[in-house]
Homo-oligomer: A and B are copies of this chain.
C-alpha cells in the first residue's frame, strides 16, 4: 500500500503511525516491523528516513517542542490576554492536550533508561525554565504575576510540572494526584504566581490522571 509520493509525506506517515503505536502498545513493545506492517512500507523505505526506533522518538520529541515553541510565540504576540492568562493557556496545553499526552505516555518506559532520563532532567532544569521565565517576566511587567521570585517560579514550574507531578515518578491515585496539585497551587499562590486557579487545577487533574498506569491501559 506504499503510495510513495514525496519523502516528506512518507516521513509524516511514519511519525503519525509511530506516535499512535507507541501510545497504544507502548514504546518498548512497538517494533519497527509493527510500523512497517501498519504502513505497508518496506524496511528500506523506513530506514531511508530513520536509522532506529529511538530516532523516530527523538523526532517526535523535537516536533513536540517545536509545536510548544510555536504556541509560546503565538501566545506572546497576543494582545487580548494578560501574561498570567497566557501562562495558564500554556500549562493547560501541556497537561491536557491529547497529542502531547500521547507523546508523554510513549516516553514513560523510555524514562527508565538512565541516559534518556538524565538528558530530560537536564532540559527541565536548564532549558525549559527559560520559556516559562519570559512569560513570568511579562506578568511582572503587566502586574498579573506580581512575584518577587520569577526565576525560582520558572525553575519550579518546569521541575515540578515535569517530574514531581508525574505519576510514573511519584505514584498516586486520583485523590492523591488532586491533593498534590492543590499543594502546588497553594505554594505558587504564596509566591504570587497564581497560575493554578480552579480551571487549571481541574484540567491538570484530568490530564495527569490519564497518565496513570491503570488509567493509561484502560483508556488505550
Which residues of A pack against B, CB within 8 Å? 114-115, 117-118, 121, 125, 149, 151-152, 155-156, 159, 163-164, 169-170, 176, 179-180, 183, 186-191
Q: Which residue of B lies closest to A184 (CB)?
A: B152
Chain A contact residues, majority secondary structure: helix
Partner of A186, one of B170, B176, B190: B190
Contact of A179 among B115, B149, B179, B180 (CB under 8 A): B149
Per assembly, the copies of the chain total 2
Q: What are the residues of chain B within 8 A of A125 when measuring CB–CB?
A: 169-170
CA gap between A134 and B152 in the complex, in Å: 28
Residues of the B chain whose Cβ atoms lie less than 8 Å from the Cβ of A164:
155-156, 159
Q: List 14 A-B contacts (CB under 8 A).
A: A114-B115, A114-B117, A117-B118, A125-B170, A149-B179, A149-B186, A152-B179, A152-B183, A155-B164, A156-B164, A159-B163, A159-B164, A187-B187, A190-B190
